[in-house]
Amino acid sequence: MNRCLYILLFLFVSCNSNGNSPFYFFPSEISDSPEFHFEYGKKDSQIHTNRSNQLLHYENGVLCVFSIPIQLYNKELGAKFRICWKMDEVSSVRWQNGFELLNLPQNEYSHFQEIGKDWKVSLTDYGKWKVSRDKNPPILEWKQQIWSTGHVSYQTFAIPHPTFIQKSNTVCEVVFRSFALHVTENKTKVIVFEFPCPNIDSILESVLTQNQSWLSNCKVESPIVSESFRHTESNFQRFLEWENPNEYVICPFADSLVRKKENEIIGFQSEEFRNRSRLVLPNGILLLSDDPKYQGIPIPKHFLAELGTEESISFGDSTFNDSQFFFKQGEEFFSNQIKTTSCRDQMNIWKTEQLFCGNPGLPNGMEKDEINATIPGCTENQIKLTEFYPGNHKETGFPLPSFFEFQNKGDVCDVSSLNWIYEGVTYPLSAKEKILLKDDVLVLTREPWIGWNLSETVKPFTIPKVVFQIPSHSIQNRKSKNTIQYEPSPNRIHLLRRGDQNLFSIYIDDIETPHPKSVCQKDLLSFGFQLSPGKHESTIVKQLASQLLEFAVTPFPFLDFGYSELEEGIGSFRTVATKEYFYWKPALTGVLSFGYGSSLCNGEKLYQLPPEFFSNHFNSVEYLDKDTSQIVLSQWTDSILTEKSHGDTRSLHPEPAPIYFSSSLRPSATCPGIWRSPGIGKQRSLEIIKANTEEKYHTNLFLDSLIEVQIGNVRQKQQINILPLSNKTFSLQLANVNLGIPEEQIYSYFSHPELVKSVGFLEKKGPVQIEAIFPNPIQSQNEWIYICNRSTNPEDLSEYSIEDETSIDLIVPYQTRFPNSNPKGIHGNGFITNDSILHPSTCAWIVDPDGKDWYLPIFHSESDRLLTVISTQTIGNGISSGEYLQLKKRVNGETILISAFGHKESANPFRKHVNTGEYLWLKKEKDGINIDHFEIYREEN
C-alpha cells in the first residue's frame, strides 16, 4: 500500500515539475545511515536541480552528497559516486551551509561539524587532515583515479574527485576538497565525511570489468590538445589539457610526450601518466600540471615552461603546434582553448579572486546550467571600430598608449562573448561579464591610461612607432567562430605623425580620416593631440583644397602645400600609384611640410610620409587646387628633376604651363650649399622658355628692368631689347639688328639676378646640321659624323671645316684624298665619294682617313656623300665621347659657325657621353640644343 502511495505521489509531482524528476530514490529505499553508491560506465544520471553547480541535493527528506557538481555528475561516464541518507530539512540546511564554507574566503570564520548515528562530518584544512591520515595509514585509498590496489578508474572530466579512504573494515571516509586555487595546498579547506563502508570488493570488481570492456572495444588514437595555460602570477599556474574529441573510447598507443622547440627535444613519461592515459573516455580530458591542487597528472614544471610560444608537443601521432598567446592581458588571465564559448557562460569549477577565463579539466565549450543572464552576448557584427591610435612613445616626453576603440552599434550585450584577433594572436575581450549598452565604446589599449579616467581594457599587443593605416584585425564570436575581418584599404594612407610625435588618431565615422579637432578630447588637445579615447561623436569633416608649393626628391626629400590660412579640416593628395594621403590641416597655418625622417634641412615639424613615398616611382602629385577647385596633376621626369635641382642642390616649385617648374632661390638656413624653404615663404627662380612654333617667350615671373638680352655667338654679340606681350610673355626686338652673315648659326643670351644659370636659345641654324655622331666605335678608327643639308640651297662642303676641342680640319671628298679607293660600309654600303656639293635634303658622312668597313645605321643612303679630312690621320685629334664639335664655313674671309654638337658657344653648353659601340642620333623635330634632343643607339652586328 505504501509503495503504491509513493508511486502516485511521484506521478503527481512529476506532472507539476515540468518533466523534471524530483526524486532520485524512493524515500522508502533510503535509510537513516549514509549509503555509498558507486557508478562506473553509466551516463544516465538525470538529477534535476536549480543548483546544479553544487555537490549537495536535498529533496523530500533525502540528502545526497555527490562526488562532483551535479551538472557534471549527470554527464560523467567514468567513476563517480553519491552518498545518500534520510535527513530533516533543518539539518540539510546546515549541511548546505557547511559545504559552502569550502569556497568562502580564508579569513572568514569557518566552522562545520555534525555527528550522526554512524557518521560524522567536519571542516578542516588539508594539511591538518593529512597529518592525521599519515599517522593512521588507511587499509585502502582511492585518489587521483588510482586505487591503492593498483586499479585505475577513468574519468570524463579531469577535475579533483574526493579522496576515498577505508579506515577499518567498517569505517570509510571521503575527503571533499575546496576548488579554491588562491590558497596553498595545506591551507585548502576540506570536509571530512566518515560513514559506514560500502562493499569495496564489488566496487573494485565493477572497475575491473568496465575497464576490460572499454579496452576490448577502444580505438587506437591519440587525444588532441584542447587547452593550455602558463603564468606564474596566476593562481592557475600551469597546465596542459588533452581531449578525446570523439564519441568513442580511445586508447593511445604512446606512453610519453615529446616537446620540440627549435633544436631542443624534451621527453616526458611516468608510471602515473601511463596508467591514467591508457584509456580516454568519449570527450574525456587528461590534465597535466605541476600544481598538486589540480590532482591532474603530475608533470615537471620545465615541460610546460614555454607554453604560449612557438613550439610543438606530441602525444603519439597527435601534435600540438603552439604559437604566441598572452595568458595575462592587463589584470585578466586567459587560457588558450581550441573550442570556446562566452567567458561569462563557460562552466568553471575553480574558485579564485583573480579574473580568469578558462576551464581546466572540462570541455572548453561546456556552459553553466544556470546562466542567469537576460542580456545576450555581443555578436561579431555589432561591434564596430571607431578610432585607432598608434601611441606616442616614451622618448617623446609625452607617452600615450596605443589603442583601438570599438562601439556597440547594436542592442545591449555582454562583450565576453567575443575575441579580438590581431597579428595572429587571440585576445578575448573580457574574462567576466562586461555589459555594453547601445553606443557604448570599448577601448583596447596597450597600457593603462593612468589618470585619464578611462574604463579601458588592457591587451599586450604591439604597434610600430610609425604607422599609416589601421592594422588588419578581426572580431570573432567565441562560440560560433564567426569572424568579421577588418582590412585597411592599401590606397588610403593617414599621416598621423608630425616631427617625432604621433599627434593624431584615425577617426572612423563611415569613412576614415585623421581625427577632427571638433570632437577630440579637450585636455589632450591642449597638449597638441587630436584623439578621443573612450568617447565617439559624429561630426562633419571639411575637405580642404591646397596647392603644391615646393618639393625635393633628393637629398632630404619633402613636399610643401599651401592653403587658405584660416581654414581647418582634412587635406589629401595622391600619387600616380593611386595611393591617397590624408592629414589634418590646422587653422592659422598657410604652409604644411611633408617628408620622411628627421632632417635639419627640412625642420622638425614635417608630417611624416612612408619611407617608400620618395622612391623611383615618385613622379607626380595630384590634389584639389585651392585656386581653381579642380583636380591638378603635377608631373615631372627624371630629366626635369636633374635640370631644375641643379645637382640636387635646389628644390623645385611647380609653375603654370608651359613653364611647369622653377628652382628655389632661398638658401637653407641650416644646410649650407642647399636651397630650399620647407614650411616658410618661397623664393622662386626666373624661368624663360621659347615657344616651339612662334618667336615668343614665356616666363613664370613678370620681368623688370634687370633683364639683359644679347644675340649672336662667340664671334659677335649685340645687346637687344624685349617687347612685352601679355600674361608673362614677350618677344625680341630684332627689327634694327644686323645678324651678320645669313648662313651663320645665332644664339640668344639672357641674364637676370633671379636666373639660377644663364639662359639662351638657338635662334637661327646654319644650312647644314650635325645630326648623328659615332665617337666610340668598337674599331676606334671607324668614327664618323653625319651631317645633312636642311636648307633650300646646295652647299659646297669644300668650304667647310670640322672642329673639336683642340684642332680644326678642312673637309674634302673621300676620293680627293684616296683616289684609288672604293670604300664600303661593313655590310657593303656604298657612297658618292667624289662630290663635295651637298644638295638640299641630302646627307654626308665625315670619316677618319684610316677607317674602313664602317658601321652605318639604317638612315644611310647610297646617295650619301663620303667625306674625310684633308691631311691628318684623324678627325681633329680623334672624336671623344662627350666632346664638343663645331661645323664651320669660310665666307668672305670669315670663319662662321654653321652647326654644333654640345653648343659650346651657347648660354647652356652640354656634353653627352656614350659607351663604346654607341652612337647618337638627333630626335625628330629637335634642334639639338640640349642633352635630351639626342637618342642613344648601339652598333648592331
- DSSP characters over 840-898: TT-EEEEE-TT--SB---TT--TT-EEEEESSSSSSTT---TT--EEEEEEETTEEEEE
Extract the C-alpha cell encoding 397: 616626453
101 and 191 both lie in a single domain:
yes
446 and 515 both lie in a single domain:
yes
102 inside domain: yes
Q: Among residues 182, 210, 238, which one ends one of the domains?
A: 210
463 inside domain: yes
172 and 62 both lie in a single domain:
yes
751 and 783 both lie in a single domain:
no
Cβ atoms of 469 and 492 within 8 Å: the answer is yes
148 inside domain: yes
Give the per-residue pLDDT at 13: 38
Q: What is the mean pLDDT of the chain?
A: 92
The model's pLDDT over 381-433, given as tens digits with 9 standing for 90+, comes to 999 999 999 999 887 889 999 999 999 999 999 999 999 999 999 999 999 99
The span from the CA of 766 to the CA of 789, in Å, is: 9
Q: How many domains does the chain have?
A: 6
Cβ atoms of 446 and 458 within 8 Å: the answer is yes
Give the per-residue pLDDT at 343: 96
Query: What is the DSSP code string of 761-827?
Result: EEEE--SEEEEEEE-S-SSGGG-EEEEEE-SSS-EEGGGEEEE-SS-EEEEEEHHHH-TT----BTT
44 and 184 both lie in a single domain:
yes
**Block residue for cell numbers 611633408:** 594
Low-confidence ranges of the chain (pLDDT < 50): 1-25
Give the per-residue pLDDT at 11: 36
89 and 187 both lie in a single domain:
yes
Q: Among residues 712, 733, 763, which one ends one of the domains?
A: 763
Tell me whether residue 254 is exposed, middle or buried, using C-beta atoms within 10 angstroms of its C-beta: 0 to 12, 13 to 18, 19 or more. Answer: middle
260 and 398 both lie in a single domain:
no
175 and 80 both lie in a single domain:
yes
Give the per-residue pLDDT at 127: 95
The model's pLDDT over 434-489, given as tens digits with 9 standing for 90+, comes to 999 999 999 999 999 988 888 899 999 999 999 999 999 999 999 999 999 999 99
811 inside domain: yes
**Left, alpha or beta for 343 (phi > 0: left; psi -120 to 50: alpha)?**
alpha
555 and 446 both lie in a single domain:
no
651 and 705 both lie in a single domain:
no
Give the per-residue pLDDT at 477: 98
Strands 580-585 and 492-494: parallel
Q: Among residues 183, 210, 237, which one ends one of the domains?
A: 210
Chain centroid to CA 936: how far? 44
Q: What backbone phi and psi angles, to 5 degrees, belong to 203?
A: -65, -50
Chain centroid to CA 462: how far? 11
The model's pLDDT over 772-791, given as tens digits with 9 standing for 90+, comes to 999 999 988 899 999 999 99
Give the per-residue pLDDT at 878: 65
The span from the CA of 470 to the CA of 272, in Å, is: 51
139 inside domain: yes
739 and 871 both lie in a single domain:
no
Quote the pTM value.
0.83
The span from the CA of 206 to the CA of 645, in Å, is: 94
- Cα angle at 855 between 852 and 858, to 5 degrees? 140
**Residue 310 is part of which domain span?**
222-334
97 inside domain: yes
185 and 247 both lie in a single domain:
no
372 inside domain: no
350 inside domain: no
